[in-house]
Amino acid sequence: MRVLVVDDNVDVAETTAALLEALGHEAHVQFDGKGALEAARRLDPEIVLLDIGMPGMDGYELARRLREDAQRHPRIIAMSGWGQDADRRKSADSGIDLHLVKPVKVEDLLAALK
């Protein structure tokens, strides 16, 4: 499965991508919303894992733009430290399919990828 990991925390993004690759997925990493939009156009990922609290374009805006721009609609999964009910509602309103709260357990991530 082709997965795009978007997080401004380089360590989190690269660790998540390494885990996905160890599990047999094709993982690509971007550290900001603009780069993620460009990568999504090029890669056409099946899944986008994204952080919400990024500078510049946050994860909510990125999700909205991915929904408008994508060739096909990837499954968008937020992995964020923001976990209040209002955050989850805003995620859903932005086109995010699933909202996971960091730190995300490996088994929860694996279940979300299925």
Per-residue model confidence (pLDDT) at position 12: 96
Q: Is 77 helix (H, G, I), strand (E, B) or coil?
A: strand
CB neighbour class for 112 (10 Å; exposed up to 12, middle 13-18, buried from 19): middle
Condensed to tens digits (0 to 9), the pLDDT of residues 10-57 reads 999 999 999 999 999 999 999 999 999 999 999 999 999 999 999 999
Quick one: tokens of 53?
């609290």
**Domain made up of 2-113: CATH architecture:** 3-Layer(aba) Sandwich (3.40)
Bridge pairing between strands 26-30 and 2-6? parallel
**In the predicted model, is pLDDT for residue 70 greater than 70?**
no
- Interatomic CA distance for residues 108 and 85, integer angstroms: 19
Q: Domain map of the chain by residue range?
A: 2-113
pTM score, whole prediction:
0.95
Q: Which residue has the tokens 């499954």?
A: 75
